[in-house]
C-alpha cells in the first residue's frame, strides 16, 4: 500500500474522467506485461486485451539458463495471466504501416482474427526480430531455444555426430552470445565432454557496447576455460559438419570443423516505430494521441535509454501506462521518458558475471555481479506477480 501511494505521488496527474478504460496491448513480452500490470494497479477496472501469437509469456533474458534448468521454468502461460489479472489473451499477430496506424487512431478500432476490437488506447509492444541466417539441421538461432532447452539440443547433437565432429561454435560476441558460451562450457564440463568450444566474432573484442573492462575480464575467463576465440572473423555458411568463415580484413576464407553452430547475431530493430518523449507513436512527425509504443520495437525521441534490453522495455511499458492514465484524466499532462540505463550485467555461467552499476566506470565482477543480476531479475518476477518494487 505504501508503494502504491509513493507511485501515485508522481501522479497528481490522474483524476479519472471515465470509470473504465479499454486498452489493447500488442505483444506479451516485458514491455507489454509491465504496461498491463501498471495499468491495473492504478486503474483496476480497466479492460485489457493482450494480443500475442504465442501461448506463453517467455522470460527471454533467461534462455541461456536452459542448459541448467527446464525451459518450462521460463514460461508463464497466458491462461494463467488471464486468470491472475482478468485480462483477455487473443493468440494472433498484428502488423502496421503508417496508413493503418492513422486509420486506427481515427476509428479507435482494430481488426484481429475477424473480430473488431474497440479501444481507448492501443499499445504496440511487439518487440523486434533476432538476426538469423540460413537454417540447417546443425545450425541454431535464438528462436530455436524458445521451443527447446539448450541441454536437449546439445544432447541430440552428441548422439547425432561422431566423436571427431564434437565441436561447437558460437557466432556472436554480444551479451547473448557470451552468456550462451559460458553456459555451454559448464554443461560440457558437467557431462565430462571433451568437445571443442569456440567463439566466432566479427569484432576484435567481445561485448563491444560495454566498457573495455568487460572484454578484458571475459577474455581472461575464456582462456582459463580453454574456449577458443576467433576475432575479426565473419560467418559465411555451415556446410555439413564444417563452418565456412572469412577473415575480416583480408576476406580470406577458411574452414573449421563444427558439429553444431549457434548463431547469436543480435537483434534487428525492424520494424521500429518512432515515438515522442511520451511514448506516443509519430507518423509524419505528428503524434497519434491514443497509440503508444514500447519495448524493442520503439525509438523514443528522448534522452531516456533506447537500448534493446529488458530494463528499457519494462521502463517504457510502465511509462506509457502512466501516460495513458494521464491522457485519459485531468489535467492531462504527460510524463516524458527520462530513464537512463542504471547498469547491466552479463552472466558467465552459474557462478560468475561481469557488469556495471550506476556508472559505466563502476565495474563489478564475480559473485557480486551475479548477485546483482539475480536481484534485478527477481524484481521483474515480482512485477509479473503484481508487486511493483521499481522506485524510479
The SS3 of residue 124 is strand
Separation of alpha carbons 90 and 176, rounded Å: 30
Nearest Cα to Cα of residue 194 among 203, 185, 182, 206: 185
The whole-number pLDDT of residue 9 equals: 40
pLDDT digits (tens, 9 = 90+) for 293-303: 999 999 999 99
The whole-number pLDDT of residue 13 equals: 53
β-sheet with 167-171: strand ranges across: 139-141, 260-263, 167-171, 196-200, 228-230
Bridge partners (DSSP) listed for residue 355:
345, 364
Alpha helices (runs of H) in the chain, residue ranges in sequence order:
2-9, 30-42, 78-85, 98-107, 150-160, 175-190, 212-224, 310-328, 366-384
Residue 247 cell numbers, joined: 577473415
Distance of CA 54 to the CA centre of its chain: 15
Contact of 52 with 88, CB cutoff 8 Å? no
Separation of alpha carbons 255 and 236, rounded Å: 10
Separation of alpha carbons 264 and 197, rounded Å: 15
Nearest Cα to Cα of residue 343 among 316, 307, 367, 317: 307
| Site of grid cell 470509470 | 19
Separation of alpha carbons 53 and 90, rounded Å: 8
Distances (CA, A) of 301 to 26, 276, 281: 21, 5, 10
The whole-number pLDDT of residue 130 equals: 61
Residues of the chain with confidence (pLDDT) below 50: 1-12, 162-164
pLDDT digits (tens, 9 = 90+) for 26-65: 999 999 999 999 999 999 999 999 999 999 999 999 999 9
Nearest Cα to Cα of residue 165 among 143, 196, 142: 196
Bridge partners (DSSP) listed for residue 261:
139, 169
Separation of alpha carbons 6 and 126, rounded Å: 30
Separation of alpha carbons 315 and 312, rounded Å: 5
Bridge partners (DSSP) listed for residue 84:
none
Mean of all residue pLDDT scores within the chain: 89
The whole-number pLDDT of residue 391 equals: 65
Nearest Cα to Cα of residue 185 among 173, 204, 170, 172: 170
Interstrand relation of 88-90 and 47-51 (parallel, antiparallel or unpaired): parallel
Which DSSP letter does residue 391 get?
-
Q: Would the CA dihedral through 45, 47, 52, 53 be positive or negative?
A: positive
Contacts of residue 125, defined as CB under 8 A and 6 or more positions apart, other chains included, come to 25, 26, 27, 29, 31, 32, 35, 293, 294, 295, 297, 298, 313, 317
In degrees and rounded to multiples of 5, residue 345 shows phi and psi of -130, 135
The whole-number pLDDT of residue 8 equals: 40
The SS3 of residue 317 is helix
The whole-number pLDDT of residue 14 equals: 60
Domains of the chain: 2-128+269-339 (3.50.50.60), 132-266 (3.50.50.60), 342-392 (no CATH)
Separation of alpha carbons 349 and 218, rounded Å: 11
Q: Would the CA dihedral through 314, 316, 321, 325 be positive or negative?
A: positive
Amino acid at each position: 500500500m505504501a508503494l502504491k501511494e509513493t507511485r501515485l505521488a508522481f501522479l497528481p496527474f490522474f483524476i479519472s474522467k471515465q470509470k473504465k478504460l479499454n486498452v489493447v496491448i500488442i505483444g506479451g513480452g516485458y514491455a507489454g506485461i509491465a504496461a498491463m500490470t501498471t495499468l491495473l494497479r492504478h486503474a483496476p477496472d480497466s479492460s485489457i486485451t493482450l494480443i500475442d501469437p504465442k501461448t506463453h509469456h517467455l522470460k527471454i533474458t533467461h534462455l541461456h539458463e536452459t542448459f541448467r534448468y527446464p525451459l518450462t521454468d521460463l514460461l508463464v502461460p497466458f491462461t494463467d495471466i488471464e486468470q491472475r489479472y482478468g485480462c483477455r489473451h487473443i493468440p494472433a499477430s498484428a502488423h502496421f504501416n503508417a496508413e493503418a496506424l492513422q486509420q486506427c487512431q481515427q476509428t479507435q478500432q482494430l481488426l484481429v482474427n475477424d473480430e473488431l476490437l474497440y479501444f481507448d488506447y492501443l499499445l504496440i509492444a511487439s518487440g523486434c526480430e533476432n538476426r538469423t541466417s540460413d537454417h540447417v539441421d546443425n545450425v541454431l538461432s535464438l528462436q530455436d531455444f524458445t521451443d527447446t532447452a539448450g541441454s536437449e539440443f546439445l544432447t541430440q547433437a552428441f548422439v547425432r555426430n561422431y566423436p571427431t565432429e564434437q565441436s561447437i561454435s558460437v557466432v556472436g560476441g554480444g551479451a547473448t552470445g557470451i552468456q550462451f558460451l559460458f553456459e555451454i562450457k559448464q554443461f560440457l564440463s558437467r557431462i565430462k565432454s571433451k568437445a571443442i568450444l569456440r567463439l566466432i566474432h566479427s569484432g576484435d573484442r567481445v561485448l563491444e557496447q560495454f566498457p573495455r573492462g568487460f572484454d578484458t575480464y571475459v577474455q581472461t575467463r575464456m582462456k582459463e576455460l580453454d574456449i577458443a576465440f576467433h576475432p575479426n572473423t565473419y560467418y559465411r555458411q555451415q556446410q555439413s559438419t564444417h563452418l565456412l568463415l572469412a577473415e575480416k580484413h583480408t576476406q580470406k576464407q577458411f574452414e573449421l570443423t563444427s558439429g553444431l553452430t549457434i548463431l547469436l547475431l543480435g537483434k534487428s530493430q525492424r520494424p521500429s516505430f518512432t515515438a515522442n518523449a511520451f511514448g506516443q507513436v509519430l507518423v509524419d512527425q505528428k503524434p497519434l494521441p491514443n497509440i503508444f509504443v514500447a519495448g524493442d520495437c520503439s525509438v523514443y525521441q528522448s534522452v531516456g535509454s533506447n537500448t534493446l534490453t529488458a530494463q528499457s522495455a519494462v521502463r517504457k511499458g510502465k511509462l506509457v501506462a502512466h501516460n495513458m492514465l494521464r491522457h485519459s484524466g485531468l489535467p492531462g499532462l504527460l510524463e516524458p521518458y527520462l530513464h537512463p540505463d542504471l547498469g547491466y550485467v552479463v552472466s558467465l555461467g552459474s557462478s560468475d558475471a561481469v557488469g556495471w552499476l550506476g556508472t559505466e566506470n563502476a565495474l563489478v565482477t564475480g559473485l557480486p555481479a551475479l548477485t546483482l543480476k539475480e536481484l534485478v531479475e527477481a524484481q521483474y518476477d515480482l512485477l509479473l506477480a503484481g508487486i511493483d518494487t521499481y522506485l524510479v
